Structure 1
Amino acid sequence: MTLKSLASAALAASLMLGCTFSAAAQDVLRLRMNGDINSVDPIATTNFTIRNSAYLIYDTLFSLDADFQVQPQMAEGVTLSDDNLTYTITLREGLTFHDGAPVTAADAVASLQRWGKVDGLGKILFSKAESLTATDDRTLVLQMKEPWGQVLPALGKISSNVPFIMPARLAANEPTVPVTEAIGSGPFRMIAEEWVPGSVAVYEKFEEYVPRSEPASMAAGGKIANFDRIEIRYIPDSSQAVDALLNGEIDWIEDVAADMIPLFEGSDTAYIFANPQGGNSLQLVVNHLNPPFDNPKVREALQWALEPTPFMQAIFGDQTQLYQICAAIFFCGSPFESTVNTDRILTRDVEKAKALLAEAGYEGTPVLLPHVTDIPFHDHAYSVLKPMLEEAGFVVDEQMTDWASVSTRRASREPVANGGWNLFFTGWGYVDQSNPMTNVYVAGAGLDGWFGWADSAELRDLRARFAETSDPAEQKALAETMQSVAYDLVPFVPLGQAALAQGVASNLEGFIESPVPFFWNVKRKQ
């Protein structure tokens, strides 16, 4: 057995024996996220688990406050020239990376350029930029080719991919080559020698971090580290995780399965918080490159084969307050909510699905189903998906797996037999989906886009026109057209909109209301 295997086994044993680590519990915040920390690079992946942990390590130039307004974060401020083409950004004094090096404008330039190669909004920003340069250690200048009102919203976006700042020597890596050294300038630093993928990731308070003076407001303002140590524990068994929380062995669970919510009734150690901002929709992502879904008729058959209600019922049971049946591509409750072109998403018709498969000449190409078992939300959804697909005439190859494996495999463009894929479930949230500029499913970017690689020149044109107008009525009309075109293209199938039921230790306070879980400002009650 290797040293890493021995360490993993020892940590797993400590979890089973009550999670007894040497650090005192009052100095340690213990978290159970949806999935394993198998990477430290939030640019190389859009995996929310990696994004969530990255917020401990890295900081951003700008971010969003509780009113979804862009505010300076690492930036001291920004000035815009009279012709709306030149953005001059000044860094705050005293910013330091975890390795002791000062944060410079050159680090910010390299980090943003790397982010701009993979993020949808970042790609648009850099396509409209003439140059991004560091003019001195604290000043970077973004020169645009044309005025574009989405510059600061792009630099301040708070969800995947987040424009985190890392040292230029690390940002020199292409995004396809994940960074393996976790060096940021955020309120916590990762302890690399204690990181055991598949077991635990450990972070310590970064003493050199200087918070902003403003109160914390979503991702903006002062980030106060009240714990000396944060441990993200990988506990794949959901019932074991709930037991650990109720017994005081961990402090927070990102998503408690609906059938386990009654276990919290009467507990004085933990409670359920249904976070509407932290919710998402259940999204079945479709790979347009591999058979059978490279055929538009097969993709339409997939829409008719499914309907949201059974998925939501399987996931939430009688906890109906946690979901709604919604097919709006920009989320129900958002300014761009629409019902256009949703009939074949909201209504199941098995015979239509079978007829479309026949028209498409479908001859039983197996559909690979990567059944994720370590996230209850996904586990229940895959259990519903398989019989629905089979009833409609699809041949299904179901393989039990974990989320970390799926989040890695989904990047492959290879045929299924060579490590590629057909379908997988994910759950982009409100903050990502409600904005047409960050919603990956209306990008139509093909091989330059997000997983699934749906290609549509019409969507690309609609999105460009959306970015150029500030007229709310025109934006609304363009967003509705985007939904109609996207649901003909079928980059994904929406199967219900949900709130996350987070499990929280009763002795904690200071959580920030946000679509993304943040752990600065959190502390033990006195």
Structure 2
Amino acid sequence: MVRTKSLLASIVAGAMLSVCVSAASAAETLRLRMNGDINTLDPIATTNFTIRNAAYLMYDTLFSMDANYEVQPQMAEGYTLSDDGLTYTITLRDGLKFHDGTPVTAADAVASLERWGKADGLGKTLFAKMASIAAPDDKTIVLKMNEPWGQVIPAIGKISSNIPVIMPAGMAANDPTDPVVTPIGSGPYKLVPEEWVPGSIAVFEKFEDYKPRSEPASMAAGGKVAHFDRVELVYIPDTATAVDALIAGEIDWIEEVPSDMIAFFDGVDSAKPIAARQSGNSMQLVVNHLNPPFDNPKIRKALQWSVEQTPFLQAAYGNATERYLECAAVFFCDTPYASDAGTEAVLTRDLDKAKALLEEGGYDGTPVLLMHVTDIPAHDAYYSVLKPMLEEAGFVVEEQITDWATVATRRASKEPVADGGWNLFFTGWGFVDQSNPMTNVYVAGACGDGWFGWACSEELQELRKKFADEMDPDVKKQLAEQMQVLTHDLVSYVPLGQSFPSQGIAANLEGFIESPVPFFWNVRRTQ
């Protein structure tokens, strides 16, 4: 079943061949194909998982989450907490350097955290509760709270978007909505700017001055040992071409192998698909509350009644039922805050109700723009299902074929659709982000300061504040359920089930870390 088309011939031409054909040997170079293009390397300026995954190669964080989901020191040597629970004194490890050779200082860490705190939902909560943060010397960060709050270290040790990476203070002075152009980190690999070609390739080299921690690697924590001299992130829009390239040994890893391509690996010794259970996502249809027609709450509810999960899941995963789960829980199924409260309209398709709501809402035929992503297979399948569903319910649909990198950029626009704005897009958050009400972007209700879609609810904002301060687990669960009911009523998004993707991995690699986020330290070639 394997076609013979060459990876390099299919994704580059002419002068670009010299970029992709590295002088380094296969044993020294790790080649990866992620879900989308690397058009920025600033994980504070975007929540795009493709950028998050790439960013972990080159940045480090003060604290990180281990395989037990406990936060451990990373760039920090450790911290102390005052007896009154208000003052955190964090000390940096010795020998930390940025990729330009300059030392990492506490002032860099403070500036980076301040920038992150303006962008990230949990970061905003932390800084709202904070009295001050300062760097009294090059190795010490002093963070003072207005009141005790047990989420301080978990917040700055969060594993997923937005990740609180540390960068030089000069770069951290950038507005968080303005991506850093030539990023510098302090992690195990450093970017090679002259070989970074958005739309084609991003190249990293081992940072020889990086000093891993002495502990074994454990998810995002522990010793981040780089075993390759060079890492290349190669953009291959067509997934079948990427699978062929993996089997042919031209690349080493694919972030997601569609179910209908798993059979390509039958009888193949060079590569294999593996179920990435910890990388499970909840696919979501994000709704823009600013632009017509979904600025109208009744039309948002009509959207909710227009769709149901099963056709989307079957289109993406076929009969591989072990790879998906119907679920409308805002905080993921099988988690401490899982609930079925308020999920009827999400799990049931009722065209009569959808059409009645369109009429009540005065729907005037305003087209719904679908930015149909084709370079992520599951997204492609979902958009193909969504269009006829919406049309059958009475929506007028305009479809534009595009790629994920374009959508990840365009979704930040609050402009009308005609001026570069949008109506709907699909995305997927992992359970590590969504299962915690403090990091779940859809329950913030933060209006213009919130995540894309800008759903607005003062009641949700208040519930989230209560959750952050509450210590009783039973009360927290009640608050989470109230947040879920309000979120579904507001239609911040439409959940379309949970999935467990398969990654494609070269057979001669070992050391991959099981994690909701793909990490590439600790990985080595066996032959």
Q: CA deviation at 1:20?
A: 3.9
The whole-number CA distance in structure 2 between the counterparts of 1:431 and 1:352 is: 34
2:429 is paired with a residue of what secondary structure? Answer: coil
2:281 corresponds to 1:276: no
The aligned counterpart of 1:374 is: 375
CA contact (8 A) 2:444 2:461 kept: yes
Question: Which stretches in structure 1 are left out of the alignment for 5+ residues?
Answer: 1-6
The aligned counterpart of 1:234 is: 235
The aligned counterpart of 1:259 is: 260
The aligned counterpart of 1:340 is: 341
What amino acid does structure 2 have at the position aligned with 1:358?
Answer: E
Change (3 A) 1:13 1:498: farther
What amino acid does structure 2 have at the position aligned with 1:57?
Answer: M
2:394 corresponds to 1:393: yes
Matches of residues 167-182 of structure 1 in structure 2 within 5 Å? 167-182=168-183
CA contact (8 A) 2:20 2:201 kept: no
Q: Deviations over 1:412-452 (max 9, x none)?
A: 00011111000000001010000000000001111111000
2:500 is paired with a residue of what secondary structure? Answer: strand
1:364 is paired with a residue of what secondary structure? Answer: coil
Matches of residues 104-253 of structure 1 in structure 2 within 5 Å? 104-253=105-254
Matches of residues 469-480 of structure 1 in structure 2 within 5 Å? 469-480=470-481
Q: Deviations over 1:220-262 (max 9, x none)?
A: 0000000000000000011000000011110000011111011
2:67 corresponds to 1:66: yes
Greater alpha carbon shift after TM alignment, 440-449 vs 262-271: 262-271
Q: Deviations over 1:93-138 (max 9, x none)?
A: 1100000000000000000000000100000000011111001000
Give 4+ residue runs of structure 1 displaced > 3 Å after superposition.
Answer: 7-20
2:412 corresponds to 1:415: no
CA contact (8 A) 1:57 1:182 kept: no
CA contact (8 A) 1:97 1:183 kept: yes
Change (3 A) 1:467 1:10: closer
What amino acid does structure 1 have at the position aligned with 2:185?
Answer: G
What amino acid does structure 2 have at the position aligned with 1:307?
Answer: E
The whole-number CA distance in structure 1 between the counterparts of 2:117 and 2:289 is: 24
**Percent same amino acid among aligned pairs?**
69
The aligned counterpart of 1:36 is: 37
The aligned counterpart of 2:3 is: none
The whole-number CA distance in structure 2 between the counterparts of 1:386 and 1:207 is: 50
CA contact (8 A) 1:62 1:152 kept: yes
Q: CA deviation at 1:21?
A: 2.7
What is the CA RMSD across the aligned residues, in angstroms? 1.6
1:71 is paired with a residue of what secondary structure? Answer: strand
- The TM-score normalised by the length of structure 1 is 0.97
The whole-number CA distance in structure 1 between the counterparts of 2:496 and 2:229 is: 41
CA contact (8 A) 1:18 1:249 kept: no
CA contact (8 A) 1:42 1:161 kept: yes
The aligned counterpart of 1:4 is: none
What amino acid does structure 2 have at the position aligned with 1:422?
Answer: N
The aligned counterpart of 1:330 is: 331
CA contact (8 A) 1:304 1:353 kept: yes
The whole-number CA distance in structure 1 between the counterparts of 2:10 and 2:81 is: 55
The whole-number CA distance in structure 2 between the counterparts of 1:281 and 1:501 is: 15
The whole-number CA distance in structure 2 between the counterparts of 1:501 and 1:320 is: 13
2:298 is paired with a residue of what secondary structure? Answer: helix
The whole-number CA distance in structure 2 between the counterparts of 1:46 and 1:13 is: 34
- The TM-score normalised by the length of structure 2 is 0.97
1:254 is paired with a residue of what secondary structure? Answer: strand
What amino acid does structure 2 have at the position aligned with 1:179?
Answer: V
The whole-number CA distance in structure 2 between the counterparts of 1:187 and 1:408 is: 27
Q: Deviations over 1:7-62 (max 9, x none)?
A: 99994469999964321001000000000000011111111111111001100000
Change (3 A) 1:18 1:415: closer
The whole-number CA distance in structure 2 between the counterparts of 1:15 and 1:381 is: 33
What amino acid does structure 1 have at the position aligned with 2:387?
Answer: K
The whole-number CA distance in structure 1 between the counterparts of 2:517 and 2:29 is: 21
The whole-number CA distance in structure 2 between the counterparts of 1:124 and 1:133 is: 18
The whole-number CA distance in structure 1 between the counterparts of 2:523 and 2:101 is: 26
CA contact (8 A) 1:8 1:198 kept: no
Q: Deviations over 1:279-337 (max 9, x none)?
A: 10110000000010011100100010000000000001111111011111111121111
The whole-number CA distance in structure 2 between the counterparts of 1:118 and 1:194 is: 29
Question: Which stretches in structure 2 are left out of the alignment for 5+ residues?
Answer: 1-7
The aligned counterpart of 1:437 is: 438
The aligned counterpart of 1:51 is: 52
The whole-number CA distance in structure 2 between the counterparts of 1:38 and 1:132 is: 32
CA contact (8 A) 1:241 1:253 kept: yes
What amino acid does structure 2 have at the position aligned with 1:197?
Answer: P
The whole-number CA distance in structure 2 between the counterparts of 1:141 and 1:98 is: 25
The whole-number CA distance in structure 1 between the counterparts of 2:12 and 2:415 is: 36
What amino acid does structure 2 have at the position aligned with 1:428?
Answer: W
The whole-number CA distance in structure 1 between the counterparts of 2:353 and 2:515 is: 41
The whole-number CA distance in structure 2 between the counterparts of 1:39 and 1:14 is: 22
CA contact (8 A) 1:8 1:196 kept: no
1:208 is paired with a residue of what secondary structure? Answer: coil
What amino acid does structure 2 have at the position aligned with 1:290?
Answer: N
CA contact (8 A) 2:11 2:200 kept: no
Change (3 A) 1:147 1:298: same
1:397 is paired with a residue of what secondary structure? Answer: strand
CA contact (8 A) 1:103 1:167 kept: yes
The aligned counterpart of 1:317 is: 318
The aligned counterpart of 1:358 is: 359
The whole-number CA distance in structure 2 between the counterparts of 1:10 and 1:415 is: 34
2:429 corresponds to 1:428: yes
The aligned counterpart of 1:488 is: 489
The aligned counterpart of 1:293 is: 294
